[in-house]
A and B are shown apart, each in its own frame.
Chain A
Amino acid sequence: MPTLQNLRRGGRFRIPGDRAMPFYLFLSLLLFSTGAYYLGRKRAFAVSGGQIRNLHSLPSFYGSYTALWCILPALIVFALWVTLQPGIIVDLVVADLPPELHNLAPDRLNLVVNDLKNLVSGNFVSSTPDPAMLAAADHYRNLRTIGNAALWVVVLTLATLGIAYAWRTISPTFRARNRVEQVVNLFLIASSTIAIFTTLGIILSVAFESILFFQKVPITEFLFGLQWSPQTAMRADQTGSSGAFGSVPLFAGTLLISGIAMLIAVPIGLMSALFLSEYATPKFRAFAKPTLEVLAGIPTVVYGFFAALTVAPFIREIGTAMGLHVASESALAAGLVMGIMIIPFVSSLSDDVINAVPQSMRDGSYALGATKSETITRVLLPAALPGIVGSILLAVSRAIGETMIVVMAAGLSANLTANPLEAVTTVTVQIVTLLTGDQEFDSPKTLAAFALGLMLFVVTLILNIIALHVVRKYREQYE
């Protein structure tokens, strides 16, 4: 199995001629299985003696059964092979390296392996390669060619064997439909677990790297520290005593920007939803609602561009005209634009919630002589409050997790301030800056990004769970 580090380093390598090979093999497999389908069907006709009613299942099921036997085992071996082959080849090549290279420390060895891979792919060579390396590269290429050829043979043999097996099993009493349905069922179940695996994957991947991080920087330091300056490099043996990994300013910045966004989005979104559902004529509603929802469809990078190039300079100019000092990457600009982005989110969720309040509530209030606004503020809103709170929580979670707007329009340096005219940075901005550009992997700096990711995930998860729960309870109330 390739180790984490060497794959990180070797991430960019690619092997030109190698690339299309699995694709063609896959295509051949598909062709084989198509053939298998017709073979199986023909076989079913043959064993039925021309009477389809003698068969347990429809002939197409026998065809599908044969096709499945053809493709599934072959595909499994294919996938395993493709995943394992590079690692095995590397091991074999390393084993055959001259002793002075072979006995290097793991770190150095990884570098050698990388050089080797670059040599093989002909990407670039740092210096004139020494003969041992060239030999190893040849060895590598040979092994790969052999491996690929073997793969073709093995996979296609398996496919043929599968067809043969299915061919032999097909008889009029054979329950092909049940077998095929079992496989389909299995596929359905497997698909539905992917969502679970995604969540697990998220938790494991961020948690794993976060644990590594917390071994280097104490968790209390990270949670309560007031200083964030990961760019001041620390030596690997140093613990995080310098206080450079305190995440408080990041969360403060995130909250400041999200807070500004909510101040924009909640009143405008909520009032829009109320107006559109209670006051607007059907015609106006049919025009305004989808138009507002256009805001939800605009990619966030566009908002970021708008914030950085239009809104931020505009706010700066206004501020300067009023004699205020406004940072060019002010929290206000990012928050304002983020608020615009979230308006349709708040309004469409609130719209659902408000429409879920039964008409009889409105009727009861109108029948007592209440005006529309009285009905809205005294009956509808209190009735819809849990649902609205739920949607606002969802919106907050979205604001906290929003990345592109803040990456493009918020600052990079961590200021612990509540002044919206100053530049602040956010959790997502830091994750992006720590993980793009030049990276030193396994340094606390890079791992910190995962720790931030973990925090972000946990916070948004809690918000989402509460919000979804509240909204669901609310819906049940009126069902």
Chain B
Amino acid sequence: MSTTTLETQTALNGALNIGAETRSSQPGILVTDYNNRQTVGKITVDHPKMICREVNVYYGAKQALKNVGLDIGINEVVAFIGPSGCGKSTFLRCLNRMNDTITGCRVTGQIKLDSDDIYDKSIDVVQLRARIGMVFQKPNPFPKSIYENVAYGPRIHGMVNTKAELDDLVRASLERAGLLKEVATRMEEPGTSLSGGQQQRLCIARAIAVNPEVILMDEPCSALDPIATAKIEELIDELRESYTIVIVTHSMQQAARVSQRTAYFHLGDLIEVGETDQVFTNPKHKLTEDYITGRFG
């Protein structure tokens, strides 16, 4: 079981730890052995939206994610941090089964959205992805007009019946993404004519328009300048009221600013999970501490 509590973790640590560093450099550090890859911290939440247990991901013969267990709570922002190649994006893409599009990728374990196992045969991936929206690292507006970009989701899912309804939906989504003011007069211009930050907000509006329950964000600000980044972060904070958000970021400051909980990944293992404040001010695993203090990353 990967739902190891803090107490058993410490016990395990004591039992397995032979010849490792025993002195803690900081009072909060519980695990000082770099080879101990058990998750530290509480992976469960009181009101989970998604529950993941024993998730393993393989690309061909290579294992990219090892035995990850984590809950994602309703209306909270969870940040995944960690050095590149640590599996944080891989895990994110498991949550809406985007890994299905990669040939040779295999996922085992259990991921539940509310009460539905999303890898169950009875779950339709089309419906799943409508319920779990995604925003990508690089803004990827379709080569269509701004309006058509936002209208794309509602159109394919048949969410609206009249043109007026669609207009309203598009405007409401843009409004919510904080983009309406900037594009109200240029709805017919191509989405690619916007600036990078606007494009990313357009992609968020596009995701919101389908009214998903969860929004996954894969380093949404890595291609943006600081001002655009600030706007997106502000938006994430607002969106938290209506959606559950999972964000992958390589910026620890961003994670600290926008998220309530933070999960630290390292080489395919989920090393530590906790309240964001706690993880950043008082990490419990030596690896986490090394990372957030900039010793590697």
Which residue of the partner chain, among B96, B140, B152, B156, contacts A358 with CB atoms under 8 Å? B140
Residues of chain B with a CB closer than 8 A to A365's CB: 142, 152
**Residues of chain A contacted by B96 (CB below 8 angstroms):** 367
Neighbouring B residues of A367 by C-beta, 8 Å: 96, 98, 129, 133-134, 136, 207, 216
Residues of A contacting B131 in the complex (Cβ-Cβ under 8 angstroms): 369
Task: Report the bound CA distance from A364 to B209 in whole Å.
Answer: 14
B126 within 8 A of A: yes
Chain A-chain B contacts (Cβ-Cβ < 8 Å), number: 68
Q: A371 at the A/B interface (Cβ < 8 Å)?
A: yes
Contacting A360 at CB < 8 Å: which of B128, B136, B207? B136
- Given known contacts A360-B140, A382-B144, A383-B143, A368 and B101 CB-to-CB distance under 8 angstroms: no
Q: Is the CB of B152 within 8 A of A378?
A: yes
Contact B103 A282 (CB under 8 A): yes
Contact of B101 among A358, A363, A374 (CB under 8 A): A363
Query: Are the CB atoms of B142 and A361 closer together than 8 Å?
Result: yes
Query: Chain B interface residue count: which class?
Result: 20 to 34
Tell me whether B122 is interfacial, beta carbon within 8 Å.
no
* Residue of chain A at shortest CB distance from B128: A369
Chain A residues touching B, majority SS: helix
A379 within 8 A of B: yes
* Contacting pair B140 A370 (CB below 8 A): no
Known: A358-B140, A363-B101. A368 touches B152 (CB 8 A): yes
Does residue B138 face the partner (Cβ distance < 8 Å to A)? yes
What 0/1 pattern do residues 9 to 24 of B give for CB contact below 8 A with A?
0000000000000000
Residues of the B chain whose Cβ atoms lie less than 8 Å from the Cβ of A364: 136, 140-142, 203, 206
Asked if B136 and A363 sit within 8 Å, CB to CB, the answer is: yes
Quick check: is B130 within 8 A (CB to CB) of the other chain?
yes
Give the residue of B126, B136, B144, B216 whose beta carbon is less than 8 angstroms from that of A369.
B126
**Taking the nearest CB of chain A, how far is it from the CB of B60, in angstroms?**
12
Contact A362 B152 (CB under 8 A): no
Q: Is the C-beta of B253 less than 8 angstroms from some C-beta in chain A?
A: no
Q: Chain B contacts of A358 at CB under 8 A?
A: 140
**Nearest CB in chain A to that of B154: its residue:** A368
Residues 173-214 of A contacting B (Cβ, < 8 Å):
none
A369 touching B98 in the complex, CB below 8 Å, given contacts A363-B140, A364-B142, A378-B152: no
Chain A residue numbers with a CB within 8 Å of B153 are 368-369
Closest chain A CB from B146 CB (angstroms): 14
Q: Please name the residue on chain B nearest to A375 by beta carbon.
A: B156
B152: chain A residues within 8 A (beta carbon)? 365, 368, 370, 378-379
Q: Is there a chain A Cβ closer than 8 Å to B210's Cβ?
A: yes
Tell me if B157 counts as interface (CB < 8 A to partner A).
yes
Q: Closest approach, in angstroms, between the C-beta of A387 and any C-beta of chain B?
A: 12
In the bound complex, CA of A362 to CA of B207 (Å)? 14
Q: Would you call A124 an interface residue if the criterion is a C-beta within 8 Å of the partner chain's C-beta atoms? A: no
Contact B138 A360 (CB under 8 A): yes
5 pairs of residues in contact across A and B, judged by CB atoms under 8 Å: A360-B140, A368-B207, A369-B125, A369-B130, A371-B156
Top-4 shortest CB links A-B: A369-B130, A367-B134, A369-B129, A360-B140
New A-B pairs, 16, CB < 8 Å, besides A374-B156, A379-B142: A360-B138, A361-B143, A362-B101, A363-B134, A363-B136, A364-B141, A366-B101, A367-B96, A367-B98, A367-B134, A368-B152, A368-B153, A368-B156, A369-B153, A369-B210, A371-B126
B residues touching A (Cβ–Cβ < 8 Å)? 96, 98, 101, 103, 125-131, 133-134, 136, 138, 140-144, 152-153, 156-157, 203, 206-207, 210, 216
List A residues at the B interface (Cβ < 8 Å).
282, 358, 360-371, 374, 378-379, 382-383
